[in-house]
């Protein structure tokens, strides 16, 4: 199991104008919390501190892991009225885990936070790894209410527990109970030069 804390080092990711929190710091905190919730599992953090790792290097590290699962943790930014968790996947073998994570996060996020949903998108961290992989946006730092909520360590612990519970359920049940899987899509590897999707 490989947990990727998004951004890091020179790449701050999003910054909340409400709390001043940086995405890279919140993502690393979340990664550590998810690892803690998976006590007894073999969990590695892709970055253990505030260092920059290029996206292609993250993919290479995941591919060397072999036989594992990659979960990349992030926080989002956008117009201030948008809020709620989102979970991205590309591979068919990532769909059930992504669905379980999104379901669990939606149950933790207050009802008014909304549910940004499950999104199939060809990103470097969802398309290029050779192992099942999902990218989780745990909430919007640009939304005042959500930014304040995310700034609370107790709330982040609930998010981490929700993600860990989904990982455990996926390990125990596989695709059982997840309905029909999406069809595979043949698409080239995602590259840095791709147009924004």
Residue-range domain boundaries for the chain = 2-173
Q: Which band of pLDDT confidence, cut at 50, 70 and 90, is reported for residue 113?
A: low
Query: Looking at the DSSP assignment, which residues form a beta bridge with residue 11?
Result: 8
Q: Which band of pLDDT confidence, cut at 50, 70 and 90, is reported for residue 174?
A: very high
Is residue 125 within 8 A of residue 94, CB to CB? The reply is no
Q: Name residue, tokens 């968790």.
A: 85
**What is the residue-averaged pLDDT of the chain?**
94
For the cut 50, the answer to whether the pLDDT of residue 96 exceeds it is: yes
Average pLDDT on 27-36 reads 99
CA distances from 64 to 57, 80, 122, 133, 134 (A): 11, 39, 21, 14, 17
- Tell me what pLDDT residue 48 has: 95
- Tell me what pLDDT residue 179 has: 86
Average pLDDT on 171-185 reads 91
Query: Looking at the DSSP assignment, which residues form a beta bridge with residue 119?
Result: 88
Is residue 69 within 8 A of residue 130, CB to CB? The reply is no
Q: Which of 27, 114, 110 is nearest to 73 (CA)?
A: 27
Average pLDDT on 158-176 reads 97
Domain range 2-173, its CATH number among 3.60.10.10, 1.25.40.10, 3.40.50.2300, 3.40.630.40? 3.40.630.40
- Tell me what pLDDT residue 197 has: 44
Average pLDDT on 22-32 reads 99
Which pairing describes strands 117-120 and 2-5: parallel, antiparallel, or unpaired?
A: unpaired
Average pLDDT on 44-54 reads 97
Average pLDDT on 155-184 reads 95
Average pLDDT on 9-29 reads 98
Q: Name residue, tokens 């990664």.
A: 31
> Using only C-alpha atoms, what is the Rg of the chain?
16
Separation between Cα atoms, residue 157 and residue 187, nearest integer Å: 36
Q: Which of 74, 9, 93 is nearest to 47 (CA)?
A: 9
Is residue 148 within 8 A of residue 52, CB to CB? The reply is no
For the cut 70, the answer to whether the pLDDT of residue 95 exceeds it is: yes
Percent of the chain's residues with pLDDT above 70? 96
- Tell me what pLDDT residue 122 has: 94
DSSP assignment letter at 61: H
- Tell me what pLDDT residue 187 has: 85
């Amino acid at each position: 199991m490989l947990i990727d804390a998004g951004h890091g080092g020179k790449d701050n990711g999003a910054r909340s104008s409400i709390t001043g929190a940086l995405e890279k710091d919140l993502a690393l905190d979340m990664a550590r919390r998810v690892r803690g919730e998976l006590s007894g599992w073999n969990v590695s953090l892709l970055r253990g501190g505030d260092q920059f790792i290029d996206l292609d290097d993250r993919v290479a590290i995941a591919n060397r892991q072999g036989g594992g699962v990659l979960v990349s943790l992030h926080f989002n930014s956008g117009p201030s009225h948008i809020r709620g968790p989102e979970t991205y996947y590309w591979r068919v073998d990532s769909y059930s885990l992504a669905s379980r994570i999104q379901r669990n996060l939606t149950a933790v996020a207050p009802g008014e936070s909304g549910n940004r949903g499950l999104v199939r998108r060809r990103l470097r961290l969802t398309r290029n790894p050779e192992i099942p992989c999902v990218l989780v946006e745990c909430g919007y730092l640009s939304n005042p209410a959500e930014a304040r909520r995310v700034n609370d360590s107790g709330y982040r612990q609930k998010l981490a527990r929700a993600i860990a519970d989904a990982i455990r359920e996926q390990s125990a049940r596989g695709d059982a109970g997840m309905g029909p899987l999406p069809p595979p899509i043949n698409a080239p590897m995602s590259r840095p030069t791709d147009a924004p999707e």
